[in-house]
């Protein structure tokens, strides 16, 4: 080494600045927590929406099965209406309670549902010929999401050999906000957006002759 020249040696313990930047790039402490916080909410919303959609469609099938079961009982004479047969005659309240029992595994009726409809609506009537079967959902307005018009619903099945139509409606409350605009189809009066999914089941039949 020549006189007057100095050799620069790095101080003990010091590291090049490039090493510091590299370490900063590799330091991922807290990153996983931040990523989880960003992804957890939409992930769980999708999960809950999928579960609620599945349960709703299962309830739809349950309503259809109950409608077929109760209609079959009317068709075969197991349930009659104003026939003077105490063993089989049912009024509307008893019929509604029997229907509630059919769907109780998933859809609970309130204590007053049999006499005061709030979720379940049933329309059973006889018609003189096949052209009189109703083909539209009765609504209070012209919109496809208008509230259900329950004024004309009744329980009046016909006697032996009569043509009958049975319609069952159930208000299914949608809980998950993310699917509510896409699943709901019922907007009660004064509501800003639909909040219920209206389940509908219809069947037609001819009662057996005595």
Residue range 88-98, pLDDT digits in tens: 999 999 999 99
**Range 71-75 average pLDDT:** 97
pLDDT, residue 24, reads: 47
**Range 176-201 average pLDDT:** 73
For residue 125, name the pLDDT band (cuts at 50, 70, 90). Answer: very high
- Above 70 in pLDDT, residue 123? yes
For residue 122, name the pLDDT band (cuts at 50, 70, 90). Answer: very high
Q: pTM score, two decimals?
A: 0.77
- Above 80 in pLDDT, residue 137? yes
**Range 33-38 average pLDDT:** 75
pLDDT, residue 96, reads: 96
Specify whether the CB–CB gap between 107 and 63 falls below 8 A.
yes
- Above 60 in pLDDT, residue 181? yes
CA distances from 161 to 41, 134, 166 (A): 58, 19, 16
């Amino acid at each position: 080494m020549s006189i007057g020249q100095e050799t620069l040696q790095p101080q003990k313990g010091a590291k090049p600045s490039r090493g510091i930047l590299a370490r900063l790039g590799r330091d991922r402490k807290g990153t996983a927590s931040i990523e989880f916080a960003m992804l957890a909410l939409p992930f769980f919303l999708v999960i809950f929406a999928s579960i609620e959609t599945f349960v709703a469609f299962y309830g739809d099938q349950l309503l259809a099965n109950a409608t077929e079961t109760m209609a079959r009982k009317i068709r075969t004479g197991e349930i009659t209406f104003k026939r003077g047969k105490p063993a089989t005659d049912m009024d509307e309240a008893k019929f509604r309670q029997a229907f509630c029992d059919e769907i109780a595994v998933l859809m609970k009726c309130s204590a007053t549902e049999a006499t005061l409809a709030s979720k379940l609506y049933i329309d059973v009537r006889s018609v003189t010929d096949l052209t009189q079967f109703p083909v539209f959902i009765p609504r209070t307005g012209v919109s496809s999401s208008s509230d259900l018009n329950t004024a004309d619903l009744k329980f009046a099945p016909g006697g032996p050999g009569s043509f009958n139509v049975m319609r069952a409606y159930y208000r299914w409350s949608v809980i998950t906000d993310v699917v509510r605009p896409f699943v709901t189809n019922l907007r009660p009066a004064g509501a800003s957006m639909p909040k219920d999914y209206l389940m509908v089941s219809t069947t037609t039949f001819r009662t057996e002759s005595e």
